[in-house]
């Protein structure tokens, strides 16, 4: 029970690694606040966690809308009285998410805006909303989800790469802001993860994509007391993909 009575807010919590992280935290004693743009999905996820004996609440949040983010942080404080962990999972490559498989220079600007707003500004907004509380508490952990594309770049996901590079910079800056107050910030940058079939085709040195649990286990370690001396770093979990030399 590493996280007994700790309070976590998770964005993008109704599916994928966000949902898996919420379940794992709840299993280890955390009180989890799930946020997602799909109200039905987030409510179903909360119900599932509760049926398993966990403590959870959910709220619909579009990370492009700061007022909705504030409503989520207010819910956490009103119900549980603290915010110990903030985990920013919401995001996705805009070309895929918006079914716009065009090269960067042909993408409508509205698609580009969506990508930056969801993949970068959403995390900035959530960090802005929780940092004051964590500073007052003299404790807290922020985990931002980067991507291998934020380090190696991608001709097919230019905007997404830019946003994920920004997440790395955001994390470093937050670590500097939070360090005098006992607040940590870390970035986890996965390579291909088997949250969808297409990821299995991305090459890694280890010859496979990651299982979602492998990434979540790293996140849980960084959130735990065993990671108490870790802040400001970007953790690659990419099967050696960024070692270089991949075709």
List 235's β-bridge partners, or say none. 188
Q: Is 160 a catalytic residue?
A: yes
What's the fold here for domain 7-242? Rossmann fold (3.40.50)
From first to last of its 247 residues, the chain has per-residue pLDDT tens of 999 999 999 999 999 999 999 999 999 999 999 999 999 999 999 999 999 999 999 999 999 999 999 999 999 999 999 999 999 999 999 999 999 999 999 999 999 999 999 999 999 999 999 999 999 999 999 999 999 999 999 999 999 999 999 999 999 999 999 999 999 999 999 999 998 877 778 889 999 999 999 999 999 999 999 999 999 999 999 999 999 766 6
The domain limits of the chain are 7-242
- Out of 80, 125, 160, 235, pick the active-site residue: 160
């Amino acid at each position: 029970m590493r996280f007994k009575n700790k309070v976590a807010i998770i964005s993008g919590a109704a599916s994928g690694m966000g949902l898996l992280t919420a379940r794992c935290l709840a299993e280890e004693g955390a009180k989890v606040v799930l946020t997602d743009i799909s109200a039905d999905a987030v409510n179903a996820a909360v119900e599932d966690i509760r049926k398993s004996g966990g403590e959870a609440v959910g709220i619909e949040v579009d990370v492009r809308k700061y007022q909705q983010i504030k409503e989520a942080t207010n819910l956490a404080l009103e119900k549980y009285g603290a915010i110990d962990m903030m985990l920013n999972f919401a995001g996705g490559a805009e070309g895929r998410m918006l079914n716009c498989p065009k090269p960067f220079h042909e993408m409508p600007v509205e698609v580009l805006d969506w990508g930056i707003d969801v993949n970068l500004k959403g995390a900035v907004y959530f960090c802005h909303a929780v940092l004051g509380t964590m500073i007052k508490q003299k404790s807290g952990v922020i985990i931002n989800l980067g991507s291998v594309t934020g380090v190696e770049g991608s001709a097919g996901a230019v905007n997404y790469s830019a946003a994920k590079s920004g997440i790395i910079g955001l994390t470093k800056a937050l670590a500097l802001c939070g360090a005098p107050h006992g607040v940590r910030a870390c970035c986890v940058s996965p390579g291909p993860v088997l949250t969808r079939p297409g990821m299995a085709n991305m090459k890694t040195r280890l010859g496979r994509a990651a299982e979602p649990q492998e990434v979540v286990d790293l996140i849980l370690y960084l959130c735990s007391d065993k990671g108490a001396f870790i802040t400001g770093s970007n953790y690659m979990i990419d099967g050696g993909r960024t070692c270089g030399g991949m075709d």
